[in-house]
Amino acid sequence: MSDLRDLYQELILDHGKSPRNLRNMEAPSNEADGYNPVCGDKVHLYLLLDNGVIKDACFEGSGCAISTASASMLTQAIVGKTPGEIRHLRKEVAEMLTSEPGNSKDFSSLGKLAAFSGVCEFPNRVKCATLAWHTLDSALGDDQEIVSTE
């Protein structure tokens, strides 16, 4: 288990240092700003939703390694998904981040995003990890009429 933790920590540090999809988008279909006053993390998320699927996602912003890594991995995780699939993913991530520390629930279905499973042990960092996801919520909620049966 500690090897897995090391791997997870490496992933977060790697994405925090060299974030993927850190750029702007000229004509996004959806975008939103997020701010975490507790830590000072800022993120601006750009989405390109085309034919009901996320074709491109990127972000700009500045913040701690956890918030940057979270936005970086989020943009990688949502490309190719529908808003309905993203809501499902988002729910699982929220459950992971707010679960009891030391729980034995398996979050490996979340792939790389499972790297954040250790964050629930640090309540003051949870907001850093959830910032990008809250921003995603508001980006998807903006002037987009998405019908969901969930």
Binding site for Zn ion (CB under 5 A): 39, 41, 64, 67, 128
Cβ proximity to Zn ion: between 8 and 35 the closer is 35
Q: How far is the CB of 85 from Zn ion (least distance, A)?
A: 27
Q: How far is the CB of 121 from Zn ion (least distance, A)?
A: 15
Give dist(CA 31, CA 58) in Å, integer: 10
Cβ proximity to Zn ion: between 48 and 59 the closer is 59
Cβ proximity to Zn ion: between 41 and 48 the closer is 41
Q: 71-88 burial string, b = 16+ CB within 10 Å, else e?
A: bbbbbebbeeebbeebbe
Give me the phi and psi of 141, to 5 degrees please: -80, -20
Q: How far is the CB of 71 from Zn ion (least distance, A)?
A: 11
Give me the phi and psi of 86, to 5 degrees please: -65, -40
Nearest to 30 by CA among 144, 145, 122: 144
Cβ proximity to Zn ion: between 30 and 75 the closer is 75
Q: How far is the CB of 112 from Zn ion (least distance, A)?
A: 19
Q: How many CA atoms lie within 13 A of 147 on its CB side?
A: 0
